[in-house]
Structure 1
C-alpha cells in the first residue's frame, strides 16, 4: 500500500449557534479535508480547521504546506513504514502543525485500514466509549445559563464555560450557571489566555471562596507566560490546565519540568498529529499528570482521530471533543457516533470513514 496521490479540499458546515471565546467568534466551521490515496485504491482521511489566532494556520497556508512541501516528501512511501512517514511529515518543515496533523491522521487511517484494525484499538483499545463535555460560548450570563440548561437537557453532565474577557463578569457568569445547574454538574472554565496572572489568582480565589466548585481552569494567562502560569498554579487550589502553552512535546516537557500546571490539554492541531500527541500523553503519564483530549472547531474526522487516541490511552482522563456536536450538519459518512454525552468509537478499520459529502477541491489560484 503505497501513497500515490494527495488531494486537499474543503467542507463548510454551519454551526447550531455562534462559537464565541475570548479570542474569536465563528459562525460556520470551514474544515480542510485531505485525501491520501494509495496504489491499491484506499483513501485515508485527514482534516485541518484554520485557527489563525491559536495555531497561526490559515486555509491557504495549510493547503500550500500539504501540496507544496510536506506532501511531496511522502509520495511513494509504503504505509507499512508508518514511523518513517510520520518522521518525514514532522521534519519536512517547521511549525505548520495543522497541515502535519491532517496528513498524520490520514496515514494512521490508512494503517488501520490495511490491517483491518479500528484506530482506537491500535492505540490500546482501553474503552469503546468516552465521555465529553459541551462548550458554552462566551456571552451574557442569562444567555450562557440558557445554553447550559439546553446542554444538560441533552444529557451532558460536564460543561466547559468560556470566560476571560471581564473577570468580574466571569464570576457572575459562573455563579449564575452553577445556581441553575445545581451541584452535580461538573463545570470547567476556559479563559483562553484572558487574564493576567495576579488577576487570575484573585478571580479564581473568589470563585473558590464562593464555593462554585470548579473542576479545572484552562489557560488563564498568555500562552508565552509559562512563569505566570506556574504562579497561578502555585497560588490557587483549583487545578490549572495548560492549553495554548502546550503545543509540542518540547513545550510540555518544559511545563512538566517546572510544574507549571496540573493538567495538559492535548490537541492534534497543536501537536502536529497523533504521533506527537501520543508522545505528550506518555510524558504526562510518566510525570503523574493527567491529560484532556481537546479539539479545535473541526469536523468529525479530527474528532474521531482524537477520540481514538483518548479511548486507547490511560493518561487521557478528560475529553473536550464536542466540536462535531456543535455543528448543524454532518457531512462525514462514518466515524464516531454520539449517545448523549458519550462518543462511541467505530468498529470499522481505521477511522471508519467512507466519504465526505460536499467535499470541494481547494482552489490554489
Structure 2
C-alpha cells in the first residue's frame, strides 16, 4: 500500500458503523490494528507516539488461575521470581476455596499487589463476603474485577457502594455510552478496556469518558499473542494514565509466532526501541 493510499484512509468512518454488532468487535480491532500499523510505518513513527507518546513503557501484572492453594502458593513464588510486582488471582467459584487461594498467594508473594478477578462468578453478596473474609485476614486487594454478571448493573453498583476496595467493570463495559451509564449510576470505580472487546476507536472514546468523569483506567486482554499485546502496550504507553495493566498472555503461551513490539524485563514492556509502527515481525 502506498503512502498516498494510506493517507486517504480515515479510520473512524471505516470502523464505527461496523462496531454496531458487538460480536464482530474483535475482527474490527484487527482491521484497525493493521491500518494503524501501516499508517505509522508510512510516517516513520512508532505507534505509541501516534497515540500521544505519554510514556515509553508499561508494567503488567500476571494471572494465577483457579488452582489449589498449594499450587497458587507455588505460582506466586514463581511469579515474584520473574520480577512481576502485581498478581491477578482468579476467583468467583466456591468462596472458601477462593479465600484459601488468595491467602496462599499472599503467603507466597507477601510484597506484591493483588487483584481479584471474579469473571462474573459471584452474586453481589458473595463478592462482599469474599472481600470481608479477606479483610479479616489482613488482605486488602488493590482491585476486584467484574464481581457479578455483566448485565447485573444494580449488583455491580451495590458491591461498589458497600466496599472500599475499588471495583472494576470488564464484561459490563464495552462502549463509551455503556461506560458513561455505569459511571453515572455509581456502579464502578475502574473500567477495564480491552481492545479486542471494543476496538481502538471505541477504546479511545471509553478512555475519554473515564477521564472526564475521574474514573480509573485499566487495560486487559483476552488470550492474545505478542502481536495484539504489543498493540495494547503501545496504546497504553501512548495515552498514559492507566492505573492497572493486565497484558500477561504472551507469557502464558507455549509458542508465539511473533517477535518485536517491545522489550520485556520482568513485568515491564518497553516500547522505546520501536522505530515505526508496532515493530512486530513474524518469527
- The TM-score range, normalised by the shorter chain, is over 0.9
Displacement of 1:90? 2.5
Q: Does 1:340 align with 2:266?
A: yes
Q: Deviations over 1:60-85 (max 9, x none)?
A: xxxxxxxxxxxxxxxxx942244x33
- Greater Cα offset, 85-94 or 233-242: 85-94
Aligned-pair distance for 1:248?
1.3
CA contact (8 A) 2:216 2:243 kept: yes
2:109 to 175, 178, 181: 181
2:197 counterpart (256, 270, 286): 270
* Counterpart selection for 1:88 from 9, 14, 29: 14
- Higher normalized strand content (fraction of residues): 1
Counterpart in 1 of 2:46? 118
Alignment correspondent of 1:247: 174
Greater fraction helix = 2
Q: Provide structure 1 residue ranges, at least 5 long, that are not aligned to the other structure.
A: 1-37, 41-76, 358-365
Where do 1:71-220 residues align within 5 Å?
Answer: 78-82=5-9, 84-92=10-18, 94-95=21-22, 96-182=24-110, 184-220=111-147
- What is the TM-score with the length of structure 1 in the denominator? 0.74
| Separation in 2, partners of 1:188, 1:85 | 34
Instruction: Tell me the secondary structure at the aligned position of residue 144 of structure 2.
Output: strand
- In structure 1, the partner of 2:187 is 260
Aligned partners of 1:200 and 1:220 also within 8 Å: yes
TM-score (norm 2): 0.94
- Please say if residues 167 and 195 of structure 1, whose CA atoms lie closer than 8 Å, have aligned partners that are also in contact: no
- In the TM superposition, what is the alpha-carbon distance from 1:340 to its structure 2 partner? 1.0
CA distance in 1, matches of 2:101, 2:43: 49
Q: Which residue of 1 aligns with 2:160?
A: 233
In 2, distance between residues paired with 1:335 and 1:179? 34
Between the aligned partners of 1:300 and 1:87, the Cα distance in structure 2 is: 28
- Does residue 284 (structure 1) correspond to residue 204 (structure 2)? The answer is no
Paired position in structure 1 for 2:238: 312
**Mapped partners of 2:109, 2:230: distance in 1:** 29
How far residue 39 of structure 1 moved from its aligned partner, in angstroms, is 4.8
Cα drift, residue 213 of structure 1: 2.0
Deviations 1:319-360 (A, max 9, x none): 101111111223213212211110011422110123x24xxx
- Cα offset for 1:98? 0.6
Task: Report the CA distance between 1:302 and its aligned residue.
Answer: 0.7
Q: Secondary structure at the residue paired with 1:198?
A: helix
2:261/2:274 contact within 8 Å kept: no
Match of 1:71 in 2: none
Task: Give the Cα–Cα distance (whole angstroms) in 2 for the partners of residues 81 and 132 of structure 1.
Answer: 36
CA distance in 1, matches of 2:11, 2:235: 19
Query: Contact 2:169–2:192 (CA<8 Å) still a contact in 1?
Result: yes
Q: Distance in 1 between matches of 2:8 and 2:136?
A: 55
Runs (5+) with no aligned partner, structure 2: none
Deviation of 1:316 (Å): 1.5
Output one character per residue of 1:273-311: Cα deviation in whole Å (capped at 9) or x when no partner: 221111111110111111111111111111011111110
Shift of 1:180: 2.2
